[in-house]
Amino acid sequence: MSESLRTAFDVRPLSGALGAEVLGVRLEDITDEEFAELRRLLLRYLVLFLPEQEGWSSESRIAFGRRFGELEVHPYLPHLDGHPEIQIIDSEQDGKIPIWHTDMTYSPNPPIGSVLQIVRSPGRGGDTMWSNQYLAYESLSAPMRELLDGLTAIHAIHIPGLDSRAEHPVVRVHPETGRRALFVNRAHTSHIVQLSRNESDALLQFLTEFSTSPQFTCRYQWRPGDVAIWDNRVTQHYAVDDYEERRTGLRVVVLGDDPTGNKPRWSPYRPKPGERYAPARVNAKEPY
């Protein structure tokens, strides 16, 4: 399946849910017109894959990321010498943490997206999966959507050198498309503010499992030089740990998100006298 586009890209959707390969563009010298088309495609497919981008210079990589917005300097991930915006993802340096997640939702302003290039990949295995959180939300029943639209959740991380938490709507509205999407994940969502601990745990377990069901996902098999660009606002991703060889990549992360949705319809849950209430603490390392 392909599409005819005004920039003459060859666009090949990867699944019915999300994801597309884009051929016919070189990121090293991308034009303004080509970038505008890539951004439009990103809003449609949520994750784009651009194969065979060898020779992408650090300066061009940073300039490309800055077309989307301000770039993050990660608090503890290693980075290229002289280029703190370019993070090094290495399976031999805590780079193998397989869990479905949306990056840095424990921040009040999580990233809007990421650009990852795989430099070295194993002979087999080491794929990455993405999940469409628009479809996850839209596939829920109307009563469930109505409940979730009135809830907020705490997202947190507690590890040496990084202790952060933020409250976000359980259902967020994408600032560019206006569509609603689930915004909870297994790695960082601690608890739902308006529910009891037992209720919150049960609902989050259902939502995190449902939102990554196979019908909402795509899977990409990396080759050295391939680049992925994804919308962090409405996707989750999962790095499959089924390999032994080393896997490395270079990533830039675009800041600037402000998750918004409906205002809470209920007050925060208050434990009854004598009730023990200890919201879950999230201790996972930041996965990539």
Rounded CA separation 130/139 (Å) = 17
User: Is 74 within 8 Å of 154 (Cβ atoms)?
Assistant: no
| Domain ranges across the chain | 9-254
Active site annotation includes 32: no
7 or 223: which carries more pLDDT confidence? Answer: 223
Active site annotation includes 103: yes
**Options 103, 149, 226, 231, the catalytic residue:** 103
User: Is 278 within 8 Å of 197 (Cβ atoms)?
Assistant: yes
Q: What was the pLDDT predicted at 220?
A: 97
**Options 180, 188, 251, 257, the catalytic residue:** 251
Q: Could you tell me which of 182, 186, 176, 198 has the C-alpha nearest to residue 136?
A: 182
Q: What was the pLDDT predicted at 281?
A: 56
Rounded CA separation 258/260 (Å) = 6
* This model's pTM is above 0.95: no
- Per-residue pLDDT band at 105 (split at 50, 70, 90): very high
Please report how many Cα atoms fall inside a 13 Å half-sphere around the Cα of residue 104, on the Cβ side.
22
Residues facing residue 181 across a β-bridge: 172
Over residues 64-93, the pLDDT tens digits come to 999 999 999 876 778 888 889 999 999 887
Residues facing residue 22 across a β-bridge: 11
The answer, yes or no, to whether residue 3 has pLDDT greater than 50, is: no
The answer, yes or no, to whether residue 286 has pLDDT greater than 60, is: no
Q: What was the pLDDT predicted at 274?
A: 80
**Options 168, 174, 180, 237, the catalytic residue:** 237
- Per-residue pLDDT band at 146 (split at 50, 70, 90): very high
Q: What was the pLDDT predicted at 5?
A: 41
Q: What was the pLDDT predicted at 15?
A: 97
**Options 101, 155, 172, 186, the catalytic residue:** 101
Q: What was the pLDDT predicted at 128?
A: 96
Looking at residues 159-177, what average pLDDT do you find?
93
Domain 9-254: which topology?
Double-stranded beta-helix (3.60.130)
281 or 194: which carries more pLDDT confidence? Answer: 194
Looking at residues 251-258, what average pLDDT do you find?
94
Q: What was the pLDDT predicted at 287?
A: 46
User: Is 46 within 8 Å of 40 (Cβ atoms)?
Assistant: no
**DSSP letters for 185-252:** -TTTEEEETTS-HHHHHHHHHHHHHHTT-GGGEEEE---TT-EEEEETTSEEEEE-----S--EEEEE
The answer, yes or no, to whether residue 1 has pLDDT greater than 50, is: no
- Per-residue pLDDT band at 162 (split at 50, 70, 90): confident
**DSSP letters for 28-52:** GG--HHHHHHHHHHHHHHSEEEE--
Over residues 238-252, the pLDDT tens digits come to 999 999 899 999 999
Our CA dihedral for 45, 46, 49, 54, rounded to 10 degrees, sits at 140
Q: What was the pLDDT predicted at 199?
A: 96
How does strand 180-182 pair with strand 171-173?
antiparallel
- Per-residue pLDDT band at 141 (split at 50, 70, 90): very high
Rounded CA separation 167/62 (Å) = 30
Percent of the chain whose predicted confidence (pLDDT) is above 70: 91
Residue 58 to residues 22, 38, 226, Cα–Cα distance (Å): 21, 20, 15
Looking at residues 254-259, what average pLDDT do you find?
94
Q: What was the pLDDT predicted at 160?
A: 81
Q: Lowest mean pLDDT: which of 50-59, 148-157, 159-168, 182-191?
A: 159-168
